[in-house]
Amino acid sequence: MRINLLGSFAAGVFIATSITGIVYLSSDHNDAKATENKVGNHSKTTVLPSEEEMKSKLETKGYVVQTKAEYDKNMADAKAADQKNATSDNNNQKVVYRTTVKVSKGMTSYDVGKQLLKAKLIKKSAFQFSKDIERKKLENRLRPGSYTVDSGMSYDKIIATIFKK
């Protein structure tokens, strides 16, 4: 009895799929610029705008419309300009990163190390920074507050600023 039930279900699915496929393949597919919606006895035809109409409508709303080739060219030009500015900046001046480290109650030297690493003020990992603090026996000297440090400071000066002796 169970096998017959499963066979009947499979046959029903096969018949439903076949009918749907026949209807789909025999109907007219209109990929033109008009779509037709039928509601009851009424039909409504909607004409899709052309590419130029869509582009002008977007541009009047403040959007910038460009082809992929134009986009790629603009991106390449911007990258070249950035590289040119980076080389001229490196020749003229040194970049100094400055941040305010906010220490709240319960924070550890590892948390401070993560903030300093994120601000590009230390090159070591937050874990290594924490180990350095432990080696210097400063882990208990961390007090809540805001401390301003920058990349012009030495590693030891940054530590001395944040971990009060």
The pLDDT value given to residue 33: 47
**Which is more confidently placed, 44 or 82?**
82
Q: How many CB atoms lie within 10 A of CB 126?
A: 19
pLDDT digits 0-9 by tens, 30-67: 554 445 555 556 666 778 888 888 888 888 888 878 88
The pLDDT value given to residue 37: 56
Is pLDDT above 90 for 152? no
Q: Please, which pLDDT band fits residue 20 given cuts at 50, 70 and 90?
A: very high
Q: Please, which pLDDT band fits residue 127 given cuts at 50, 70 and 90?
A: very high
Distance CA 119, CA 99 (A): 7
Instruction: Name the pairing type of β-strands 98-103 and 145-150.
Output: antiparallel
How many helices and strands in the chain, by DSSP H and E?
6, 4
CA 148 to each of CA 115, 130, 131, 136, 142: distance values in angstroms, whole numbers, following the listed order: 12, 19, 22, 21, 14
Is pLDDT above 90 for 121? no
Q: Give domain limits for the chain.
A: 51-92, 98-162
Q: How many CB atoms lie within 10 A of CB 163?
A: 19
Over the chain, what is the mean pLDDT?
A: 82
CA atoms within 13 A on the CB side of 80: 6
